[in-house]
Chain A
C-alpha cells in the first residue's frame, strides 16, 4: 500500500494568512494526487485532482502543486470559510489511500 504522510497534522492561522500543507507519499505517484476539504459533520469536498487541477467552483486562492512523492496545497489568503480539515488521496494504485488530514484552526 502507498503510505500518505501529511504535515503538519494541525495548524493555527489567522484570516488573511498564507497557509501551506504538505503531503508526502511512500513511493512515486507522478501527479495521481487529489485534495479534499472536510468540515465537521460534513462529507469531504473535492478541491484538486491530478495534483493541480482545480475542481469547478473552488476559489482560486487555493492552489495545488507537486509530482512524484511531494505535494503541496496552498491557500494564498485564508478566509473564515477555509477553517476545516484537508486530506490528500492517491489514485495511483489500489488500495486507494488517504493522508491523515491537516486541521486548519483559527488563531
Chain B
C-alpha cells in the first residue's frame, strides 16, 4: 500500500520561502507523477503542480513564478518550495500521487493516494 507523508515547518514568516518534503513509502516514486495540492482554511482545493520522476514539471500558472517542485528518486521523495509567501499562502498542503486510467476517451488522471496533509501558517 502506497503511503505519502509530508514534512516541513508549520510556521513560515512573510516574504520567506515555504519548503515541504513528501516521502513515498510502500512503492517506488518511479513511473508516476507526483503532485502538491493545498487547501486554505474553509476553502476548496487548489492544485499547485506536479512532477514526474524524470524531473519534468507542470505548475499552476497562478503560482508558477513562485513555485519549484523537485524530486529525489534515491530517497523516494519530492519537494515543494514556494517563495515570497504571504498570509494568503496559509493552508493545509497535501502531496498526492497522480494515478491514470485509459478508456476510449484517452488517458484519465486523478489523485489516488494522498498524504495526511500538513498545516503551514504564514505569520511573523
Contacts and interface: CB of A to CB of B under 8 A. Distances in A.
A94 B58 CA distance: 8
Contact of B61 (A50, A53, A95, A101): A95
The size bracket of the interface on B is: 20 to 34
B45 A95 contact: no
Dominant secondary structure of chain A at its interface with chain B: loop
Contact of B44 (A32, A42, A100): A100
Interface residues of A, number: 25
Given A98-B44, A98-B47, A49 B60 contact: no
Dominant secondary structure of chain B at its interface with chain A: strand
29 contacts: A32-B105, A34-B110, A34-B111, A42-B117, A43-B94, A43-B114, A43-B115, A43-B116, A44-B45, A45-B114, A46-B99, A46-B110, A46-B111, A46-B112, A49-B108, A50-B108, A53-B103, A89-B111, A91-B108, A91-B109, A91-B110, A94-B58, A95-B47, A95-B62, A96-B47, A97-B47, A98-B46, A100-B43, A100-B44
